[in-house]
């Protein structure tokens, strides 16, 4: 049997060919392997299933706004008021993110020459969670829109409240809602754009309080997670539950709009309502 003995050691019988991660990415919705440069050219929309990948606020800024923009309230950042400690302290988490970054970026700009204030949430910053700085930046943006007599647009992309800020985070729900109510009373126009994912306290407050609610296709939008709802109600959930299309069918959303048509649709809404 000596002819059958392996002479070389450490021979890998099933060599796995790793895809270079900078060139290929798997679609979480349909499982197709996508060529990144092609995906990027299509504003990160899967050409197989139309799933809209979460993208950065910089990209949304380019997609929605005309060229001239002014960044707002970038000096407002989170602090660890409660001295939160778990596996990692809140202070440590805040230290590893770049300076002046927050879970929302605010801008004064124009959409097809219509002046607007735009807030874009950023899921990459602690899950787009809503802390005190997020509440303050959005509230100030609403007030600025009121002063400038222009509409406000909030693009939501969030896991909900920020647990590291406890009740302070929950207070932001009522704080933002109060500012929106005052803005609405003065006749201001508020448009919300719900993207993948919009969940928790953001859905339960300003996400669903707009005069016009737009959502990107196949976005996950809901309050509690599906497993929690199933366990609590002991009911089977319908197909496409907590998706943009399901919520539009039930009347919670006005339009489901492709990211590539987002600017055009916002512009049409502004032309009609302002």
Residues near Zn ion, by CB under 5 A = 27, 29-30, 46, 48-49, 51
**Two structure tokens written together for 74:** 């970038």
Nearer to Zn ion, 45 or 111 (CB): 45
DSSP 47-98: TTT--B----HHHHHHHHS-S--EEE-TT-----SS--BSSSBHHHHHHTSP
Q: Name the minimum Å distance from CB 60 to Zn ion.
A: 20
Query: Residue 55's closest CA among 36, 40, 34?
Result: 40
Q: Least distance from C-beta 46 to Zn ion, angstroms?
A: 3
Choice between 29 and 177, CB closer to Zn ion: 29
Beta carbon nearer to Zn ion, 27 or 229:
27
Closer residue to Zn ion in complex, CB, 25/154: 25
Distance of closest approach, residue 217 Cβ to Zn ion, in angstroms: 11
Tell the smallest beta-carbon distance from residue 30 to Zn ion (Å).
Answer: 3
Q: Which two tokens stand for residue 99?
A: 């300076």
Cis ω for the linkage preceding 197 (within 30 of 0): yes
Q: Cα separation of 274 and 266, whole Å?
A: 12
Q: Which is nearer to Zn ion, 44 or 183 (CB)?
A: 44
* Ramachandran angles phi, psi of 100, nearest 5°: 60, 15
Q: Exposure of 120 by Cβ count < 10 A (0-12 exposed, 13-18 middle, 19+ buried)?
A: buried
Which SS3 state, helix, strand or coil, does residue 246 take?
helix
Least Å distance, CB 119 to Zn ion, is: 28
Residue 134's contacts (CB-CB under 8 Å, 6 or more residues apart) are 102, 103, 104, 121, 162, 172
Minimum CB separation from Zn ion for residue 54, in Å?
14
For residues 120 and 219, which CB has a smaller minimum distance to Zn ion in the complex? 219
């Amino acid at each position: 049997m000596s002819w059958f003995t392996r002479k070389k050691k450490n021979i890998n019988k099933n060599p796995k060919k790793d895809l270079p991660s900078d060139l290929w990415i798997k679609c979480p919705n349909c499982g197709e392997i996508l060529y990144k440069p092609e995906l990027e050219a299509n504003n990160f929309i899967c050409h197989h299933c139309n799933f809209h990948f979460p993208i950065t606020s910089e990209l949304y800024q380019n997609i929605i706004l005309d060229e001239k923009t002014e960044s707002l309230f970038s000096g407002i950042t989170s602090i660890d008021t409660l001295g939160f400690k778990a596996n990692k302290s809140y202070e440590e988490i805040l230290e590893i993110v770049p300076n002046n970054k927050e879970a929302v970026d605010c801008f004064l700009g124009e959409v097809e020459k219509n002046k607007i204030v735009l807030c874009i949430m950023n899921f990459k910053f602690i899950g787009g969670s809503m802390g005190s700085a997020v509440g303050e930046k959005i509230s100030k943006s609403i007030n600025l829109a009121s002063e400038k007599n222009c509409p406000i647009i909030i693009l939501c992309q969030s896991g909900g409240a920020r647990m590291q800020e406890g009740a302070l985070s929950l207070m932001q729900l009522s704080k933002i809602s109060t500012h929106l109510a005052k803005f609405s009373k003065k006749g201001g126009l508020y448009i919300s754009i719900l993207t993948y994912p919009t969940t928790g306290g953001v859905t339960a407050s300003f996400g669903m309080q707009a005069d016009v609610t737009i959502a990107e296709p196949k976005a996950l939008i809901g309050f509690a997670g599906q497993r929690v709802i199933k366990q609590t109600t002991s009911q089977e959930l319908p197909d496409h539950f907590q998706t943009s299309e399901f919520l539009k069918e039930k009347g919670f959303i006005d339009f489901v709009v492709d990211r590539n048509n987002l600017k055009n649709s916002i512009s049409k809404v502004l032309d009609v309502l302002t």
